[in-house]
Structure 1
Amino acid sequence: MRRFLGIVTGLVVGFAGAAAAQDKPPFVFTAIPDQDETRLVQRFTKVADYLQGKLGVPVKYLPVKSYPAAVTAFSNNQVQLAWFGGFTGVQARKQVPGSDAIAQGAEDVAFKSYIIANVSTGLKASKEFPKGIAGKTFSFGARASTSGRLMPEHFIREAFSGRMPEEVFSRVGFSGDHSRTIQVVQSGAYEVGVLDYTVWDTEKKAGKIDETKVQVLWETPTFPDYQWTVRGDVDAVHGAGFKAKLVAALLAIDDPAILTQFARSKFIPAKNSDYTPIEEVAKAANLLN
């Protein structure tokens, strides 16, 4: 009988704890849609489950359709946390004073982009900027992408004496995300493009790149990129110490199933000033008010 009562008591306590967690406001996060949507849902569903276990509150992932939509969701308080690129993180923190970059992938300290080309162009890989891309059709990724637009455009301007991409290339497009940039260059819809190097590596491992049709021409100098950014009012909403608990949870991620999908070895601390170089480039390009 005693054992039975103990089991019943345990179940009641367990149900009470679960009910208490459900009574708490949900913690909602989003991410820029930088690659294949199916892959993103798989990745961030795992993150939501992990954080819910660590934080003791319901955690939900809110998918968005564009980079600006991720920034808007953050600024409107639809989400309290976001996985941003370098530029979108700068935009979001500018719109929400008090928000902080709190964690980044170890690889995000020195990130890079790949300029790729359709093999039919005859262009060859080089350690120097491939000036032979001039006059070709060219695809960036999303307009607000750090590795798919902002920093590559900066390097293009440097290589061509300050000329705008529209002055360098015969046609300029924006694919919307890194996965699609590979697709449009591999298909020949665009002759040249630029993307996040981790997406190239991930798609290559997945067998989605035909290197008889598309190849890497050049890798850019490094720059700071992705990071987790949290709103400054998160403790007021979820209780004192919640932000510190969140930071600890993100830095403690060691599940290969999560890290592999991020193409990151681990997460490390980040701070707003880490992204000053991105802010300066964005201002110089008149992309940040």
Structure 2
Amino acid sequence: MLKRSLALAAGFALSLSAVITHAADTLRVSAIPDEAPTELLRKFKPLGAYLEQQLGMKVEFVPVADYPAVVEALATDRLDLAWLGGFTFVQVRLKTGNAIPLVQREQDEKFTSKFISADPKVKSLQDLKGKTFAFGSISSTSGSLMPRYFMLQDDIKPEDFFSRVAYSGAHDATLAWVQAGKVDGGVLNASVWQKLVDAGKVDLNKVHVFATTPTYYDYNWTVRGTLDPALAAKIKQAFLALDPANPEHKAILDLQAASRFIETKPENYQGIEDAARAAGLLK
């Protein structure tokens, strides 16, 4: 019986070791689902191949169902690296106490959101009073939190101001709703708006931008706090090494809507935390 128990224990240890080794050999990466899943995967593939080359390990993209799922997966070490919005980062940081933001795009220092409508009479938010309005995901920094925060600064409480407030779930979905007349107005992040305009997916004869928010910090790439510091440092350096003068690198940067990546730090997102508390989204 003793020999059998020892054999079982040894077998279990070997199995556990194999799982740990497999996990250590694979970098598990995800992103907040602020666009369609197919678009997120398309944007990630070249970046994933680049990271595999730079890190010398397999890189796996793990899709998630919603914003809270990214927070939970990072907090429970089921993800190693994730593309987060400013608010999602704050949630992860508060939940774990040790999540580390590595880099952000240069434009994430001064990010904005665009208010849009298909009604040519709409020139300001006041013109949408009593009408329908769409945010993105309720957990989105640029599609919900910061636009709401700036509205509240102007004494506009969305639930009282509009006849109906809806959440599309993603920036491209918000545009689709406005363009189809499902809602009278909406808000989405400036980067996705420009990308959709450039791709010819916006009928500019119908939809127009009538307002832009003040600037704020937004997106970053964050690693779980329990990740090997040496690996985290290599990941950061890989992002910082992306050079727009290199055609292969530029293709990766273009898909990320980035001119380049720069270092970031937790303190950059204190304003996001303050806005979330003011909006009643954090206790």
Assess same fold via TM > 0.5.
Answer: yes
Aligned to 1:122: 121
Deviations 1:135-156 (A, max 9, x none): 1100000000000000000111
Q: Is the 8 A contact 1:85 1:227 kept in 2?
A: yes
Q: 1:103, 1:267 within 8 Å by CA — same for their partners in 2?
A: yes
Write the deviation string for residues 84-136 of structure 1: whole angstroms up to 9, x where unpaired: 000001101111222211100000000000000113x5113xxxx53222211
Give the direction of change, closer, same or farther, for the CA distance of 1:234–1:112 in structure 2 (3 Å limit). same
Q: Report the 3-state secondary structure (helix = DSSP H, G, I; strand = E; otherwise coil) of the residue aligned with 2:204.
A: coil
Q: Where do 1:255-274 residues align within 5 Å?
A: 255-274=249-268
Matched residues, percent identical?
41
Would you say 1:190 and 2:189 are equivalent positions? Answer: no
Query: In structure 1, what residue type is equivalent to 2:158?
Result: P
Counterparts of 2:239 and 2:96, CA distance in 1: 21
2:245 is equivalent to residue 251 of structure 1: no
Q: Residue 242 of structure 1 is aligned with which of 231, 248, 273? A: 231
Conservation of the 8 A alpha-carbon contact between 1:24 and 1:58:
no
**Structure 1 residue corresponding to 2:207, chosen from 204, 209, 214:** 214
Alpha carbons of 1:22 and 1:158: their partners in 2 closer, same or farther (altered >3 Å)?
Answer: closer
Question: Does the C-alpha gap of structure 1 residues 73 and 22 become closer, same or farther in structure 2, counting only changes over 3 Å?
Answer: closer
The match for 1:152 among 147, 164, 185 is: 147
Q: Which structure 1 residue ranges, 4+ long, deviate > 2 Å from structure 2?
A: 21-25
- Partner SS for 1:34: coil
Mapped pair 1:279 → 2:273: yes
Map Cα deviations across residues 189-213 of structure 1 (whole Å, 9 max, x no partner).
Answer: 0000000011111011111100111
Task: Spell out, residue by residue over 1:251-271, the C-alpha distance to the aligned partner (whole angstroms, 9 max, x if none).
Answer: 112312211112110000000
Kept in 2, the 8 Å contact 1:101–1:228? The answer is yes
Deviation, structure 1 residue 36: 2.6
Contact conserved, 2:130 with 2:162, CA < 8 A, in 1? yes
Unaligned segments of structure 2, at least 5 residues: 1-20, 244-248
Show the 5 A alignment for 1:13-92: 24-92=24-92
Q: d(CA) in 1 for partners of 2:27 and 2:126?
A: 47
Q: Deviations over 1:152-178 (max 9, x none)?
A: 00111122x2x4211000110000000
- Displacement after TM superposition at 1:23 (Å): 8.8
Distance in 2 (alpha carbons) for counterparts of 1:93 and 1:178: 24
Would the aligned equivalents of 1:22 and 1:57 in 2 still touch at CA under 8 Å? no
Q: Is the deviation greater in 188-197 or in 28-37?
A: 28-37
Give the root-mean-square deviation of aligned CA atoms. 1.6
1:43 to partner: Cα distance: 1.2
Q: Indicate if the aligned counterparts of 2:149 and 2:278 stay in contact, CA closer than 8 A.
A: no
Please report the TM-score for the alignment, with normalisation by the length of structure 2: 0.87
Aligned 8 A contact 2:196 2:202 in 1: yes
Tell whether 2:168 aligns with 1:179: no
Partner amino acid, structure 2, of 1:187: A
Paired residue secondary structure (1:101): strand
Q: Unaligned stretches of 5+ in structure 1?
A: 1-20
Output the amino acid matched with 1:181. T
Q: Say yes or no: does 1:101 pair with 2:90.
A: no
Tell me, in whole angstroms, the C-alpha distance in 1 between the residues paired with 2:61 and 2:276: 28
Aligned to 1:202: 195
